[in-house]
Chain A
Amino acid sequence: MNRLARALSSIGVIAGVVALWWAIVVWTQSAIFPTPWQVVTGTLELAEDGTLWEHIGASLMRVGIGFGIAVLLAIPLGLWMGRVRGAFVTLNPIFQILRPISPIAWIPIAILWFGVGNASPIYLIFIASVFPMIVQTTAGVHTIEKRYLRAAENFGVPRDKLFRKVIFPAALPDIIVGMRIGLGVAWLVVVAAEMIALRSGLGYMIIDSRNAGNRYDLVIAGMIIIGLIGLGLDGIMRLLESMKNVRWRYVH
């Protein structure tokens, strides 16, 4: 009952925003800004000729590769920095300086290094998502309660087992938080990156729709699709949080 009420209220808000949008467009008699219905028909048009799926696929592919490389690098590096004090002291300052630099600021350098192909946005996604994951993984290791490390020490298990059975699973909830943040940032960045210099992807679709004949219905369609896919990606990451061996962090 409570769930239903909550779902209804959020659907209500969305319906309200759409209704307001529609009313304002009609009231101002805007020639450029589309009505919600025009956005729907524009989207269907793109879906039918297949370009929509190509753009979505291109964006997801770039995020998949950039984020994937970032995960593969950030998790081992974060675990290492979490365990080895010297690694943390040496590497943390440079990461703390690089982390606040907006990925957008990297665009000129990305183009210089990687040209205008796929490699540039993949690099930008990587650079955007790798730092939050390193920081979060390291924090996850640092916050492992001492009593657990002591218990592990007491049983004198080999190092690889210590990592498999204690360090990694203890840090896993934080690693997942880092991945959620990282994927969220990656999705933000891919759209921005695609707006610069590519011929595919949702970011390109938005810029191209505006440039090629002020198709603002498709601009808004692109925005809404980006929002929905972002929501879906976050939902996938939240599924990770419901895994049985990380539930312990969210109970009590």
Chain B
Amino acid sequence: MSTDAPEVAMSIASPMTAKIRIDKVVKGFPTQKGRLDVISGLDFEVRDGEFVAIVGPSGCGKTTLMNIIAGFLAPDAGNVLVDGKPRLEPDRNGVLITQQGSVFPWLTVKQNLLFGLPDEMPNREALADEYADLVGLEGFENNYPHELSGGMLKRAEIARALVVKPQILYMDEPFSALDALMSLRMQNELLRILAKEKHTVMLITHDVEEAIHLADRILVLSPRPARIQASFDVSLPHPRRVSSPEAQALRVSILRELGVELAV
């Protein structure tokens, strides 16, 4: 069997099938000093199965952008198209995972996983157990979130998102609240899970190394109003070593776009 078959398949699929299309999106907020433009005319596409990371300076509107893409916020102008159809409200086909997390504290891990599954679904219990196992939470199904560590809580959130079999994961600084070691561990976990189930992923992060570690492509946003300032393809094979010369060179370039000069 040829090992480069998946890459061939991906390159064939690339330009024609945009899974997500951000089409001239504009968003501003009224303030006391008048209108504040957060996003002015943003355009980009995400291919099916692609992992796109968006980095940008803090306050540049990354979270606003993610809320628009995930359907929680309507743009003032422009469109978000998923599979060619305008996205008007959130749905289970694309699940948002945020920094603060939203695992329901009043439900057990198992009940959280069951939440998104229809009550009449015959194999929902088994499916919930399967995904608890997948993220390494076997034995904790009946625990409440406050009994879990930060890393386990993140696993629970990822499992709850994946169990409804979404095509897209929207991740807004998902691991930022974890300590550095746990963040790295969760990045590896995410890659392991994504290798099993191919999802389209949009990740927002301020951590350039995290973006290099995970993404197929990295978009750098400008300060407000946000537009795409630069785009980097990350062609390094997984598992990636962020300390490799190629990765470090990429990191320097991205940081330079963000206005940080590093001595190499």
Contact = CB atoms under 8 A, between A and B. Distances in A.
Interface of A: 147-148, 150-157, 161, 165-166, 169-170, 172, 244-248, 251-252
A148 B98 CA distance: 11
B106 A161 contact: no
Interface stretch (B1-9, B88-96, B190-198, B206-214): B88-96
Contacts of B89: 153
Most chain B Cβ neighbours within 10 Å, of A148, A155, A248: A155
B146 A247 contact: yes
Given A154-B92, A156-B92, A248 B115 contact: no
Contacts, number: 59
B145 interface: yes
Contacts of B92: 154-156
A151 B104 contact: yes
B106 A245 contact: yes
Contact of A248 (B102, B105, B111): B105
Contacts of A172: 106
B116 A248 contact: no
A161 B121 CA distance: 14
A248 B96 contact: no
A248 B145 contact: yes
B117 to A, nearest CB: 9
Interface string B60-104: 000000000010100000000000000001111001101011101
Nearest to A150: B72
A248 B144 contact: yes
Interface of B: 70, 72, 89-92, 95-96, 98, 100-102, 104-107, 111, 115-116, 119, 144-146, 164
A251 B145 CA distance: 11
Contacts of A155: 92, 95, 115-116, 164
Contact of B107 (A154, A156, A165, A247): A165
A80 B104 CA distance: 21
A244 B145 CA distance: 11
Contacts of A157: 115-116
A169 B112 CA distance: 13
B146 to A, nearest CB: 5
Nearest to A245: B106
Nearest to B101: A147
A252 B105 CA distance: 12
A154 B90 contact: yes
Contact of B90 (A153, A165, A169, A244): A153
B104 A251 contact: no
A161 B111 CA distance: 12
Nearest to A151: B102
Given A154-B95, A155-B92, A252 B102 contact: no
A148 B104 contact: yes
Given A156-B90, A244-B144, A248-B144, A150 B106 contact: no
Contacts of B107: 165, 169, 245
Contacts of B91: 154, 156
